[in-house]
Protein backbone atom coordinates (compact mmCIF):
# COMPACT_ATOMS: atom_id res chain seq x y z
CA UNK A 1 0.00 0.00 0.00
CA UNK A 2 2.99 2.25 -0.21
CA UNK A 3 2.66 2.97 -3.93
CA UNK A 4 3.55 6.54 -4.61
CA UNK A 5 0.84 7.82 -6.79
CA UNK A 6 2.80 10.43 -8.64
CA UNK A 7 0.45 10.15 -11.57
CA UNK A 8 -2.52 10.78 -9.32
CA UNK A 9 -0.86 13.87 -7.94
CA UNK A 10 -0.26 15.24 -11.40
CA UNK A 11 -3.87 14.60 -12.36
CA UNK A 12 -5.14 16.21 -9.20
CA UNK A 13 -3.01 19.27 -9.77
CA UNK A 14 -4.08 19.52 -13.40
CA UNK A 15 -7.72 19.09 -12.46
CA UNK A 16 -7.64 22.03 -10.12
CA UNK A 17 -5.45 24.30 -12.13
CA UNK A 18 -7.80 27.22 -12.02
CA UNK A 19 -9.96 28.34 -9.21
CA UNK A 20 -10.85 31.63 -7.66
CA UNK A 21 -8.95 32.17 -4.46
CA UNK A 22 -10.50 33.61 -1.33
CA UNK A 23 -8.91 36.98 -1.88
CA UNK A 24 -10.55 37.09 -5.27
CA UNK A 25 -7.41 36.27 -7.19
CA UNK A 26 -7.34 33.70 -9.92
CA UNK A 27 -4.84 31.15 -8.87
CA UNK A 28 -2.96 28.94 -11.23
CA UNK A 29 -2.16 26.17 -8.85
CA UNK A 30 0.28 24.37 -11.10
CA UNK A 31 2.26 27.53 -11.64
CA UNK A 32 2.01 28.60 -8.01
CA UNK A 33 3.08 25.30 -6.54
CA UNK A 34 6.35 26.29 -4.93
CA UNK A 35 9.43 24.24 -5.60
CA UNK A 36 9.32 22.71 -2.15
CA UNK A 37 5.85 21.31 -2.64
CA UNK A 38 6.85 19.35 -5.70
CA UNK A 39 9.33 17.45 -3.64
CA UNK A 40 6.39 15.64 -2.14
CA UNK A 41 7.08 12.89 -4.60
CA UNK A 42 10.81 12.91 -4.19
CA UNK A 43 11.32 12.36 -0.54
CA UNK A 44 9.54 9.07 -0.46
CA UNK A 45 8.18 9.54 3.04
CA UNK A 46 4.95 10.90 1.69
CA UNK A 47 2.38 9.18 -0.39
CA UNK A 48 -1.18 9.95 -1.24
CA UNK A 49 -4.08 7.58 -1.59
CA UNK A 50 -6.65 7.87 -4.33
CA UNK A 51 -9.03 9.46 -1.86
CA UNK A 52 -6.64 12.34 -1.44
CA UNK A 53 -6.22 11.54 2.22
CA UNK A 54 -2.54 11.14 2.92
CA UNK A 55 -1.44 7.65 3.48
CA UNK A 56 -1.43 6.59 7.07
CA UNK A 57 2.12 7.00 8.17
CA UNK A 58 3.34 4.30 10.41
CA UNK A 59 5.99 5.62 12.73
CA UNK A 60 8.53 3.94 10.47
CA UNK A 61 7.87 6.46 7.74
CA UNK A 62 10.00 8.99 9.55
CA UNK A 63 12.57 6.74 11.11
CA UNK A 64 16.16 7.72 11.56
CA UNK A 65 17.09 6.50 8.10
CA UNK A 66 14.59 8.85 6.56
CA UNK A 67 15.35 11.90 8.66
CA UNK A 68 16.69 14.62 6.42
CA UNK A 69 20.41 15.26 6.72
CA UNK A 70 21.05 18.53 8.47
CA UNK A 71 24.01 20.80 8.11
CA UNK A 72 22.94 24.04 9.69
CA UNK A 73 20.75 25.02 12.59
CA UNK A 74 17.07 25.74 12.74
CA UNK A 75 15.85 28.42 15.10
CA UNK A 76 12.24 28.76 16.17
CA UNK A 77 11.18 31.90 18.03
CA UNK A 78 7.83 32.14 19.77
CA UNK A 79 7.31 35.89 19.93
CA UNK A 80 5.55 37.39 22.90
CA UNK A 81 2.57 38.98 21.19
CA UNK A 82 0.29 38.88 24.21
CA UNK A 83 -2.94 37.06 23.44
CA UNK A 84 -2.04 35.79 19.98
CA UNK A 85 0.50 33.75 18.03
CA UNK A 86 3.59 34.73 16.07
CA UNK A 87 6.38 32.29 15.30
CA UNK A 88 9.55 33.13 13.38
CA UNK A 89 11.56 30.24 11.95
CA UNK A 90 15.04 30.52 10.45
CA UNK A 91 17.16 27.97 8.67
CA UNK A 92 20.13 28.47 6.35
CA UNK A 93 19.34 32.17 6.09
CA UNK A 94 15.75 31.49 5.04
CA UNK A 95 12.88 32.83 7.09
CA UNK A 96 9.30 31.79 7.68
CA UNK A 97 6.69 33.65 9.70
CA UNK A 98 3.74 31.71 11.10
CA UNK A 99 1.03 34.15 12.19
CA UNK A 100 1.85 37.63 13.49
CA UNK A 101 -0.19 38.52 16.56
CA UNK A 102 -2.81 41.21 16.93
CA UNK A 103 -2.79 44.86 15.87
CA UNK A 104 -0.94 46.29 18.85
CA UNK A 105 1.93 43.87 18.27
CA UNK A 106 2.22 44.26 14.51
CA UNK A 107 5.01 46.85 14.60
CA UNK A 108 6.81 44.88 17.29
CA UNK A 109 6.76 41.81 15.02
CA UNK A 110 8.05 43.79 12.04
CA UNK A 111 10.87 45.37 14.04
CA UNK A 112 11.72 42.03 15.63
CA UNK A 113 12.09 40.53 12.16
CA UNK A 114 14.21 43.45 10.99
CA UNK A 115 16.48 43.13 14.01
CA UNK A 116 16.74 39.40 13.37
CA UNK A 117 18.13 40.20 9.93
CA UNK A 118 15.08 39.32 7.88
CA UNK A 119 15.07 40.99 4.47
CA UNK A 120 12.69 38.58 2.79
CA UNK A 121 10.44 35.75 3.81
CA UNK A 122 10.44 32.39 2.07
CA UNK A 123 7.11 31.52 3.63
CA UNK A 124 4.35 33.23 5.48
CA UNK A 125 1.75 30.95 6.97
CA UNK A 126 -1.49 32.57 8.00
CA UNK A 127 -3.11 29.83 10.04
CA UNK A 128 -6.53 31.49 9.90
CA UNK A 129 -7.93 35.01 9.77
CA UNK A 130 -8.65 35.81 13.40
CA UNK A 131 -7.20 39.18 14.37
CA UNK A 132 -4.88 37.80 17.04
CA UNK A 133 -3.02 35.90 14.30
CA UNK A 134 -3.48 37.98 11.18
CA UNK A 135 -2.62 41.60 11.98
CA UNK A 136 1.11 41.06 12.27
CA UNK A 137 1.06 38.95 9.11
CA UNK A 138 -0.25 41.99 7.25
CA UNK A 139 2.49 44.11 8.85
CA UNK A 140 5.13 41.62 7.74
CA UNK A 141 3.76 41.33 4.20
CA UNK A 142 3.84 45.11 3.91
CA UNK A 143 7.44 45.17 5.13
CA UNK A 144 9.12 42.21 3.44
CA UNK A 145 8.92 40.53 0.04
CA UNK A 146 7.54 37.06 0.43
CA UNK A 147 7.83 34.05 -1.84
CA UNK A 148 4.96 31.86 -0.74
CA UNK A 149 1.93 32.61 1.42
CA UNK A 150 0.07 29.60 2.75
CA UNK A 151 -3.36 30.38 4.10
CA UNK A 152 -6.73 28.96 5.02
CA UNK A 153 -9.28 28.64 2.21
CA UNK A 154 -12.19 30.63 3.55
CA UNK A 155 -13.24 34.25 3.37
CA UNK A 156 -14.29 36.65 6.06
CA UNK A 157 -15.52 40.24 6.06
CA UNK A 158 -13.10 41.89 8.45
CA UNK A 159 -10.94 44.88 7.60
CA UNK A 160 -7.78 43.05 8.55
CA UNK A 161 -8.70 40.30 6.08
CA UNK A 162 -9.14 42.92 3.35
CA UNK A 163 -5.74 44.37 4.26
CA UNK A 164 -4.27 40.90 4.07
CA UNK A 165 -5.69 40.37 0.57
CA UNK A 166 -4.37 43.77 -0.50
CA UNK A 167 -0.91 43.04 0.90
CA UNK A 168 -0.79 39.70 -0.94
CA UNK A 169 -1.97 41.33 -4.17
CA UNK A 170 0.59 44.10 -3.74
CA UNK A 171 3.32 41.46 -3.69
CA UNK A 172 2.05 40.05 -6.96
CA UNK A 173 1.78 36.58 -5.52
CA UNK A 174 -1.16 34.26 -4.99
CA UNK A 175 -2.25 32.50 -1.88
CA UNK A 176 -1.66 28.80 -1.64
CA UNK A 177 -4.33 26.84 0.19
CA UNK A 178 -2.47 23.76 1.28
CA UNK A 179 -3.83 20.25 1.69
CA UNK A 180 -2.98 17.74 4.35
CA UNK A 181 0.16 15.86 3.37
CA UNK A 182 1.71 18.64 1.28
CA UNK A 183 5.42 18.87 1.98
CA UNK A 184 7.54 22.00 1.66
CA UNK A 185 11.28 22.39 1.85
CA UNK A 186 12.55 25.14 4.05
CA UNK A 187 16.27 25.77 4.49
CA UNK A 188 17.75 22.74 6.14
CA UNK A 189 14.33 21.53 7.23
CA UNK A 190 10.99 20.57 5.74
CA UNK A 191 7.43 20.78 6.88
CA UNK A 192 4.28 18.79 6.24
CA UNK A 193 0.79 20.21 6.36
CA UNK A 194 -1.15 18.25 9.01
CA UNK A 195 -4.42 20.19 9.05
CA UNK A 196 -7.10 21.11 8.16
CA UNK A 197 -8.57 18.20 6.20
CA UNK A 198 -11.36 20.53 5.06
CA UNK A 199 -11.92 24.28 5.01
CA UNK A 200 -15.60 23.93 5.85
CA UNK A 201 -15.54 23.65 9.59
CA UNK A 202 -18.26 25.39 11.56
CA UNK A 203 -15.61 27.07 13.71
CA UNK A 204 -12.97 28.89 11.67
CA UNK A 205 -10.40 27.96 14.30
CA UNK A 206 -10.69 24.42 12.96
CA UNK A 207 -9.81 25.71 9.48
CA UNK A 208 -6.36 26.63 10.86
CA UNK A 209 -3.49 25.53 8.67
CA UNK A 210 -1.13 23.48 10.81
CA UNK A 211 2.31 22.09 10.09
CA UNK A 212 4.76 19.58 11.43
CA UNK A 213 8.24 21.01 10.93
CA UNK A 214 11.13 18.57 10.90
CA UNK A 215 14.81 19.37 11.29
CA UNK A 216 16.92 16.23 11.55
CA UNK A 217 15.78 14.42 14.68
CA UNK A 218 13.78 17.37 15.94
CA UNK A 219 10.18 18.17 15.19
CA UNK A 220 7.68 20.93 15.92
CA UNK A 221 3.90 20.91 15.67
CA UNK A 222 2.22 24.29 15.11
CA UNK A 223 -1.52 24.29 14.34
CA UNK A 224 -2.87 27.80 14.97
CA UNK A 225 -6.17 27.64 16.82
CA UNK A 226 -7.16 24.14 15.66
CA UNK A 227 -9.78 22.75 18.02
CA UNK A 228 -11.33 19.43 18.88
CA UNK A 229 -12.92 18.76 15.48
CA UNK A 230 -9.69 19.31 13.58
CA UNK A 231 -7.70 17.37 16.15
CA UNK A 232 -10.06 14.42 15.78
CA UNK A 233 -9.60 14.53 12.02
CA UNK A 234 -5.83 14.55 12.45
CA UNK A 235 -5.96 11.60 14.81
CA UNK A 236 -8.26 9.72 12.46
CA UNK A 237 -6.10 10.38 9.40
CA UNK A 238 -3.16 8.75 11.11
CA UNK A 239 -0.82 11.47 9.91
CA UNK A 240 2.37 11.60 11.93
CA UNK A 241 1.86 14.03 14.82
CA UNK A 242 4.60 12.91 17.20
CA UNK A 243 6.70 16.01 17.85
CA UNK A 244 9.31 17.21 20.30
CA UNK A 245 7.82 20.66 20.60
CA UNK A 246 4.12 21.45 20.44
CA UNK A 247 2.71 24.95 20.34
CA UNK A 248 -0.49 24.52 22.32
CA UNK A 249 -3.29 25.22 19.87
CA UNK A 250 -5.62 28.13 20.59
CA UNK A 251 -3.40 29.51 23.34
CA UNK A 252 -4.00 26.56 25.64
CA UNK A 253 -7.77 26.74 25.36
CA UNK A 254 -9.79 23.91 26.84
CA UNK A 255 -11.29 23.32 23.37
CA UNK A 256 -7.91 22.22 22.00
CA UNK A 257 -5.08 19.87 23.02
CA UNK A 258 -7.31 17.00 24.09
CA UNK A 259 -5.69 14.30 26.19
CA UNK A 260 -5.81 11.92 23.18
CA UNK A 261 -4.21 14.50 20.94
CA UNK A 262 -1.46 15.25 23.47
CA UNK A 263 -0.76 11.55 23.74
CA UNK A 264 -0.39 11.26 19.98
CA UNK A 265 1.92 14.26 19.85
CA UNK A 266 3.76 13.15 23.00
CA UNK A 267 5.74 16.39 23.16
CA UNK A 268 8.80 16.89 25.34
CA UNK A 269 7.99 20.55 25.48
CA UNK A 270 4.80 22.55 25.11
CA UNK A 271 4.88 26.25 24.35
CA UNK A 272 1.86 28.33 25.25
CA UNK A 273 1.52 31.66 23.46
CA UNK A 274 -0.91 33.55 25.61
CA UNK A 275 -1.65 37.02 26.98
CA UNK A 276 -1.05 37.86 30.60
CA UNK A 277 -4.31 37.91 32.56
CA UNK A 278 -6.30 37.34 29.36
CA UNK A 279 -10.07 37.38 29.63
CA UNK A 280 -10.44 33.92 28.06
CA UNK A 281 -8.94 32.04 30.97
CA UNK A 282 -6.19 30.66 28.72
CA UNK A 283 -4.40 28.43 29.32
CA UNK A 284 -6.96 26.12 30.84
CA UNK A 285 -6.17 24.15 33.97
CA UNK A 286 -7.27 21.00 32.14
CA UNK A 287 -4.70 21.55 29.37
CA UNK A 288 -1.95 22.27 31.92
CA UNK A 289 -2.85 19.08 33.77
CA UNK A 290 -2.91 16.98 30.58
CA UNK A 291 0.41 18.45 29.47
CA UNK A 292 1.84 17.52 32.86
CA UNK A 293 0.37 14.03 32.40
CA UNK A 294 2.40 13.46 29.22
CA UNK A 295 5.48 14.66 31.08
CA UNK A 296 6.16 17.73 28.95
CA UNK A 297 7.85 20.88 30.14
CA UNK A 298 6.10 24.17 29.55
CA UNK A 299 7.21 27.52 28.21
CA UNK A 300 4.76 30.42 28.39
CA UNK A 301 5.06 33.73 26.63
CA UNK A 302 2.92 35.45 29.27
CA UNK A 303 5.39 34.50 31.98
CA UNK A 304 8.64 34.40 30.03
CA UNK A 305 8.21 36.72 27.10
CA UNK A 306 9.67 35.70 23.75
CA UNK A 307 11.09 32.18 23.81
CA UNK A 308 13.66 30.83 21.35
CA UNK A 309 14.77 27.28 20.67
CA UNK A 310 17.57 26.18 18.36
CA UNK A 311 17.90 22.75 16.80
CA UNK A 312 21.22 21.43 15.57
CA UNK A 313 19.40 18.47 14.06
CA UNK A 314 20.08 16.33 17.11
CA UNK A 315 19.34 18.35 20.21
CA UNK A 316 17.27 21.35 21.14
CA UNK A 317 18.72 24.36 22.93
CA UNK A 318 16.35 26.78 24.64
CA UNK A 319 17.26 30.35 25.48
CA UNK A 320 15.79 30.07 28.95
CA UNK A 321 14.58 27.57 31.51
CA UNK A 322 11.02 26.26 31.33
CA UNK A 323 8.42 28.10 33.39
CA UNK A 324 9.37 27.27 36.97
CA UNK A 325 7.67 24.21 38.33
CA UNK A 326 6.29 26.00 41.29
CA UNK A 327 2.90 27.24 40.29
CA UNK A 328 4.05 28.87 37.06
CA UNK A 329 3.86 26.44 34.24
CA UNK A 330 2.94 23.05 35.44
CA UNK A 331 0.15 21.79 37.49
CA UNK A 332 -1.75 24.56 39.16
CA UNK A 333 -2.74 22.00 41.76
CA UNK A 334 0.76 22.23 43.15
CA UNK A 335 0.44 25.93 43.72
CA UNK A 336 0.94 26.93 47.29
CA UNK A 337 0.41 23.41 48.50
CA UNK A 338 1.51 23.50 52.09
CA UNK A 339 3.51 26.61 51.35
CA UNK A 340 1.52 28.91 53.58
CA UNK A 341 3.79 28.59 56.56
CA UNK A 342 7.06 28.46 54.67
CA UNK A 343 9.45 31.34 54.64
CA UNK A 344 10.09 32.60 51.13
CA UNK A 345 11.27 35.72 49.41
CA UNK A 346 8.51 37.64 47.66
CA UNK A 347 8.47 40.85 45.69
CA UNK A 348 5.71 43.23 46.75
CA UNK A 349 3.96 45.92 44.82
CA UNK A 350 2.96 48.26 47.62
CA UNK A 351 0.68 50.17 45.30
CA UNK A 352 -1.41 47.31 43.86
CA UNK A 353 -0.96 45.16 46.98
CA UNK A 354 0.10 42.19 44.86
CA UNK A 355 2.94 39.86 45.72
CA UNK A 356 5.12 38.01 43.23
CA UNK A 357 7.80 35.40 43.04
CA UNK A 358 11.22 37.00 42.47
CA UNK A 359 11.32 35.29 39.06
CA UNK A 360 7.99 36.74 37.89
CA UNK A 361 8.21 38.95 34.83
CA UNK A 362 5.60 41.29 36.32
CA UNK A 363 7.83 41.86 39.31
CA UNK A 364 10.43 43.38 37.00
CA UNK A 365 7.98 46.04 35.92
CA UNK A 366 7.28 47.39 39.40
CA UNK A 367 8.59 50.91 39.83
CA UNK A 368 11.20 51.34 42.50
CA UNK A 369 8.99 53.45 44.77
CA UNK A 370 6.31 50.74 44.86
CA UNK A 371 8.63 47.77 45.00
CA UNK A 372 9.65 46.00 48.17
CA UNK A 373 11.27 42.71 48.96
CA UNK A 374 9.68 40.63 51.65
CA UNK A 375 10.91 37.54 53.44
CA UNK A 376 8.30 35.58 55.30
CA UNK A 377 5.25 33.43 54.76
CA UNK A 378 2.45 33.70 52.29
CA UNK A 379 0.02 33.82 55.17
CA UNK A 380 1.58 36.94 56.63
CA UNK A 381 1.15 38.65 53.30
CA UNK A 382 -2.47 37.67 52.78
CA UNK A 383 -3.23 38.77 56.32
CA UNK A 384 -1.65 42.11 55.49
CA UNK A 385 -4.08 42.45 52.60
CA UNK A 386 -1.76 41.35 49.80
CA UNK A 387 -3.02 39.18 46.95
CA UNK A 388 -0.98 36.68 44.93
CA UNK A 389 -0.09 37.67 41.37
CA UNK A 390 -2.26 35.88 38.79
CA UNK A 391 0.74 35.43 36.61
CA UNK A 392 3.30 33.72 38.81
CA UNK A 393 0.80 32.38 41.33
CA UNK A 394 3.15 32.58 44.33
ZN1 LIG B 1 -8.76 31.90 16.27
ZN1 LIG C 1 -5.95 32.76 18.47
pLDDT in tens, 349-365: 888 888 788 888 888 88
Q: Is pLDDT at 155 greater than 90 in this prediction?
A: yes
- What is the CA(240)–ligand 1 centre distance, in A? 24
- Ion ligand 2, residue ranges at CB < 5 A: 132, 225
Residue 316 CA to ligand 2 center (angstroms) comes to 26
Question: 9-58: per-residue pLDDT in tens?
Answer: 433 443 343 445 577 654 444 444 444 454 443 333 343 333 334 443 33
Residue 104, helix vs strand vs coil: helix
In this structure, how many other beta carbons lie within 10 angstroms of the beta carbon of residue 241? 25
Q: How far is the CA of 102 from the centre of ligand 2 (A)?
A: 9
3-state secondary structure of 161: helix
Give the residue extent of every domain in the chain.
6-57+70-318, 336-388
Proximal ligand: closest to the CA of 82: 2
pTM of the predicted protein model: 0.72
Task: Of 14-23, 118-127, 203-212, 235-244, give the lowest mean pLDDT range.
Answer: 14-23
Say whether pLDDT at 173 is over 90: yes
Q: How many helices (H) and strands (E) does the chain have?
A: 12, 21
CA gap 196, 12 in Å, rounded: 18
| pLDDT of residue 385 exceeding 50 | yes
Domain covering 6-57+70-318: architecture: 4-Layer Sandwich (3.60)
**CA distances for 64 relative to 42, 69, 278, 362, angstroms:** 17, 10, 41, 43
Nearest ligand, CA 205: 1
Quote the ligand 2 centre to 132 CA distance (angstroms).
5
The pLDDT, as a whole number, for residue 69 is: 66
What's the whole-number mean pLDDT along residues 314-338? 64
Question: From the CA of 226, which ligand is nearest?
Answer: 1
- How far apart are the C-alpha atoms of 216 and 222, rounded to whole Å? 17
Q: What is the pLDDT of residue 66?
A: 54
Report whether pLDDT(330) > 70. Answer: no
Summarize pLDDT for 280-291 with one digit per residue, the tens. 999 999 999 999
Ligand in closest contact with the CA of 250: 2
Nearest of 91, 12, 6, 11 to residue 44 by alpha carbon: 6
DSSP 380: H
Predicted pLDDT of residue 383:
78
245-247: strand order across its sheet:
183-186, 189-195, 210-215, 218-222, 245-247, 269-272, 297-300
CA distance 15 to 364: 58
Give Cα separations from 331 to 193, 278, 285, 323, 336 (angstroms).
31, 19, 8, 11, 11
Most confident of 47-61, 109-123, 317-331: 109-123
| Ligand minimally distant from the alpha carbon of residue 207 | 1
- Residue 260 alpha carbon to ligand 2 centre in Å: 21
Q: Report whether pLDDT(63) > 70.
A: no
Asked if the bond preceding 283 is cis, omega within 30° of 0, the reply is yes
Q: What is the mean pLDDT of the chain?
A: 83
More confident residue, 8 or 176: 176
Amino acid sequence: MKTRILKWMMTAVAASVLFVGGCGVQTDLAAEMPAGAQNVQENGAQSVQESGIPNVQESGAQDAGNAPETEGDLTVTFLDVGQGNAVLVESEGEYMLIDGGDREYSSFVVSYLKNAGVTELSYVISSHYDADHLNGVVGALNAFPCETVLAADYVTDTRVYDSFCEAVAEQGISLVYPSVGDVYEFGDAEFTVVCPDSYDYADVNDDSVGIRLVHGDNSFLICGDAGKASEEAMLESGILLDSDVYLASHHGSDGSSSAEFLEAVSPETVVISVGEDNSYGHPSERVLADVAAVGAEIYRTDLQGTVTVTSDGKELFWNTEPAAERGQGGNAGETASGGAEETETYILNQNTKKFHLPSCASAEDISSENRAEFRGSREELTEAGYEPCQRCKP
